[in-house]
Amino acid sequence: MDSWVDGQPADALSLKDRGLAYGDGLFETIAVHDGFPVLLDRHLVRLAKGCRRLAINLDHAAVVSEVLTYAEQLNDGVLKLIITRGDSLRGYAFDPSAQARRILTGNPPAVYPQAHAEQGIRLFPCTTRLSFQPLLAGLKHLNRLEQVMARAEWQDTEHAEGLMLDQAGRVIEGVFSNVFLVHDGVLITADLSSCGVEGVMRAELLSQAESLGIPLQITDITLEQLQGADEVFVCNSVYGVWPVRAYAALSWPVGPLTRKLQTIARALLDA
Amino acid sequence: MDSWVDGQPADALSLKDRGLAYGDGLFETIAVHDGFPVLLDRHLVRLAKGCRRLAINLDHAAVVSEVLTYAEQLNDGVLKLIITRGDSLRGYAFDPSAQARRILTGNPPAVYPQAHAEQGIRLFPCTTRLSFQPLLAGLKHLNRLEQVMARAEWQDTEHAEGLMLDQAGRVIEGVFSNVFLVHDGVLITADLSSCGVEGVMRAELLSQAESLGIPLQITDITLEQLQGADEVFVCNSVYGVWPVRAYAALSWPVGPLTRKLQTIARALLDA
């Protein structure tokens, strides 16, 4: 379907847009099912957090209304919302009162092999390391060259995702997913205060696990801890949960907590 | 004057462009004087290096011919060349054979107060730190949120530039300049193998200094070394050289080597 800019059908963007010039903006990739944006509240919360951190003035009411209308027309698929700080003046300085630009594009549903969800996936060991930048950590901002470079490290279809470490060798996330592991019944995911993206499905699963009384830990994860895990899985807001069977020489069975959270994620995406 | 995309007049860009989506591209800001792009060879070398590092396929011959023609029409001003990896498929993966998109925009000459060049400037002490990322260091890529955040730290006109340190507290560069210092007759600038942009004017001044027999050092610079410097200056390919008079509580006189290199830069920009 047609794309929109600031609520109007449009197929092109100003060449002076700061999203292009500097990656000066944020995005959200939202699953749409039966005309409804899945986990919209969590996407809006993350977006608001990003706007606050980057001092971007966004008409949040317009975003909600546009996303709801756009999703209704898309019906089933994946909606991408890009927010930029609008047009450049000259150089990096910006007008603090400038209103953000809202860009909506739609795609058909993402199609992945059934086996990813059923039998689990292999993670490619990416050598591209995530840099330490607490000012930007957690945000889904438009500066994504590290992910582009990491994703370019493998072309085979044997690896459905890649695992990214930080500069200190800690396990942080997948290229387009967050990573969880289970150890002695505890659900563990990486602390993202120095790098990484705080995924919407990650936040949802953490909250669901808490409601179920599952012990949680948000912490630094070493490769040794990954190796010693009972279960490993990745998640995002489009495909839900994929069990991880292997990473380099390491391997894991598909475990019961992974299956439980996968069922919960599936139900949200199919609701 | 009109902007160009791939050699044709255009005022807008595809909403699927990867420059917008991920900052997946590079740029060059080129001074144009009397219809000629200043230091074009050095801009092209840096661009080629960036394309190689990011595996971007660029029609370099088209770039040269377009930049020369565009500069002739602009006559005097600042030309901005943006290279992106073209349109997105879906997600971070890219088609390795995709041809890069070439975007040219023109602006009138940059106007700065005469005092910047004559009496020197004050550097704002930015708290935004540059992250360690050797894979991207040196390149003028489109992921520039750190610079956007650093530039937003001051609004006053008392500071013409800001100084950025890396996460370890080393002196790296200005927000839109490179930094040099002079100590006991040695010209010193920061090693940019972990972060920072290898400026075209920086490369030119290093080469000119070498021809003049001035001893050079490209090394890690501490704040203590900055404090002990005899002269400090910043440079870029648009304004040339500005002496630095002060940074926080530190201050320096405008020295003879700064003036010598400033004259050389001025001559290049006015050639």
Q: Domain holding A40: CATH number? A: 3.30.470.10
**Residue in A with minimal Cα distance to B143:** A143
Nearest alpha-carbon partner for A51 in A5, A105, A96: A96
In the listed set A107, A123, A158, which residue is the last one of a domain according to the structure?
A107
A230 CA: distance to closest CA in chain B (Å): 30
DSSP characters over A249-262? TEE-PPPHHHHHHH
Distances (CA, A) of A159 to A33, A176, B74, B221: 27, 13, 49, 42
Query: What's the ipTM?
Result: 0.97
Active site residue B222: no
Domain shared by B165 and B231, yes or no: yes
Residue A250 β-bridge partners: A247
Domain shared by B97 and B165, yes or no: no
Of the partner residues B84, B94, B147, the one whose CB lies closest to the CB of residue A92: B147
Structure tokens belonging to residue B248? 């926080």
Domain shared by B94 and B118, yes or no: no
Residue with tokens 């029609």: B59
* Each residue's pLDDT tens digit, B72-108: 999 999 999 999 999 987 799 999 999 999 999 999 9
* Each residue's pLDDT tens digit, A107-153: 999 999 999 999 999 999 999 999 999 999 999 999 999 999 999 99
Distance CA B73, CA B3 (A): 11
Q: What percent of chain A has pLDDT over 70?
A: 100
Domain shared by A83 and A132, yes or no: no
Are B22 and A147 an interchain contact pair (Cβ–Cβ within 8 Å)?
yes
Residues of B in contact with A56 (CB under 8 A): none
State the pLDDT at residue B135. 97
Are A20 and B17 an interchain contact pair (Cβ–Cβ within 8 Å)?
yes
Distance CA B12, CA B167 (A): 37
Structure tokens belonging to residue B268? 């290049």
Of the partner residues B5, B20, B147, the one whose CB lies closest to the CB of residue A19: B20
Q: How many CB atoms lie within 10 A of CB B250?
A: 16
Residues of A in contact with B124 (CB under 8 A): none
Domain shared by A212 and A248, yes or no: yes
Q: What percent of chain B has pLDDT over 90?
A: 98
pLDDT tier at A244 (50, 70, 90 boundaries)? Answer: very high
In the listed set A75, A107, A139, which residue is the last one of a domain according to the structure?
A107
**Domain enclosing residue A18, as ranges:** 4-107
Domain shared by B122 and B255, yes or no: yes
